[in-house]
Amino acid sequence: MSSVNEFLDLFSDVWTSGLFGVNVSEIIIGLIIFLIFYVLRSFFARFVIGRLYKIVKKTKTDIDNVVIEVIEGPLKFLPIVIGFFIATSYIEFNADIIILIEKINRTFITIFIFWLLLQLIVPFSFVIKKFEEQLTTALIDWTLKGLKILVIIIGIVAVLELWGIKVGPIIAGLGLLGVAVALGAQDLFKNLISGIMILMERRFKIGDVIHIAGEAEGIVEQIGFRSTLIRQFDSNLVMVPNFKFAEQSVTNYSRRINRRIRWIIGLEYRTTVEQLKNMRNQIKEFIDKDKNFKNDDKSYFSSSFVRIDSFSDSSIDMLVQCFTNVTNWNEYIKVKETLAITIKEIVENEKAGFAFPSQSLYLESLPSNIPEVFIPPKK
């Protein structure tokens, strides 16, 4: 009987102060409290979000709807933070354990705050994108990525400071390492700065057709921190380092206001003056009346010219120059084809002809050693 009593006394002692000097019953109750909050986290999030949705339905903007969608994750984490705080507050820990528990609670709260800030960057992007005309899409994307990285870094630093880890020496060490890396990665930083200048100066954007002298020609698919991806017209993908755009000339075909057609048409020398005038007038009249060509004569880029230009070695040259209203390549070549066929019809209708390069050879005398040509006698 005495053994049973001793066991009961030992059990009671362990139950009272068996784990870190804390009553086991308090630990069990604390765990139950925490588990209740953990299980109810989804219900809590749905309840709060449901209430908020009823409120935002009365507004006309979409930003508040996005805010509610992105805060669902942090809201599910909030009951865990609250549950851990209440559970640990109920349990009477000793002084050393209390310091550790307080650090854990502060860490959970810090994680919740910075997670919430990180998620709120998404609706903030809707505000920034209103300035997309002044900025570029790529620059806005870079800004949002930079904000996310900044929030994450500050959050990590805040958590490390809570646990007594001094960030200053780490940053100083990283600074020295950064100097060493910078010396060996000059091209990387040169490309990064050039990429920022591309976005700030808005030389081109994704989807533009550009030509980089001596490098590539095609459609811009991506503007990155280090390089720009260009899809060439043969479907090959070219990665051009960003510093090339600072060193080479860049032609942005997507920004032209129209396309130019400039032809030199060679006509035969037997063409009469009247035929030349008739063909010139008919070609000019066709260009002036066709809606696919610019004809307001307000500037060089909206004027058309059809003139007898020069006398070449084997042709009378007529200059035909005009600007189309279309910039799309497919539409442009259709307009070009129509003009070519029309000019051909006009030349044919005037009974004239196109000249082709030719040479005339004149001999003053024949060499003396040429054999005599045999001429058969007439019958």
What domains lie within the chain, and their CATH numbers?
9-162 (no CATH), 188-255 (2.30.30.60), 259-349 (3.30.70.100)
pLDDT in the model for residue 337: 95
Strand, helix or coil at 318? Answer: strand
pLDDT in the model for residue 164: 78
pLDDT in the model for residue 351: 92
Residues 356, 349 contacting (CB under 8 angstroms): no
pLDDT in the model for residue 100: 84
Q: Residue 289 contacts by C-beta under 8 Å, 6 or more apart in sequence?
A: none
pLDDT in the model for residue 18: 57
Residue 286: how many other CB atoms lie within 10 Å: 18
pLDDT in the model for residue 9: 58
pLDDT in the model for residue 349: 94
Q: Residue 374 contacts by C-beta under 8 Å, 6 or more apart in sequence?
A: none
pLDDT in the model for residue 78: 86
The token pair at 216 is 């590539």
pLDDT in the model for residue 244: 80
- Triad 286, 290, 295: Cα angle to 5°: 90
Residues 228, 295 contacting (CB under 8 angstroms): no
Q: How confident is the prediction along the chain (379 residues), in pLDDT tens digits per residue? A: 566 666 555 556 555 565 556 666 777 787 888 888 888 877 777 777 777 777 767 777 767 777 777 887 888 888 888 888 888 887 777 777 788 888 888 999 999 999 888 888 887 777 766 665 556 666 677 777 778 888 888 888 888 888 877 766 666 555 555 555 555 555 666 666 666 666 666 778 888 888 888 788 999 988 877 788 899 988 899 888 887 877 778 888 888 888 899 999 999 999 999 999 999 999 999 999 999 898 777 777 778 889 999 998 889 999 999 999 888 888 999 999 999 999 999 999 999 999 887 666 666 665 666 666 556 766 6
Q: How far is it, in rounded angstroms, from Cα 325 to Cα 294?
A: 6
Whole-Å CA distances, 186 to 97, 212, 241, 243, 352:
50, 22, 13, 11, 65
pLDDT in the model for residue 285: 93
Q: Encode 93-117: b = buried (16+ Cβ within 10 Å), e = exposed.
A: beeeeeeebeeebeebbbbbebbbb
In the chain, count H helices and then E strands.
12, 8
The token pair at 150 is 């900044």
pLDDT in the model for residue 96: 73
Residues 140, 128 contacting (CB under 8 angstroms): yes
Q: Residue 261 contacts by C-beta under 8 Å, 6 or more apart in sequence?
A: 320, 321, 322, 323, 324, 335, 336, 339
pLDDT in the model for residue 235: 87
The model scores a pTM over 0.75 = no
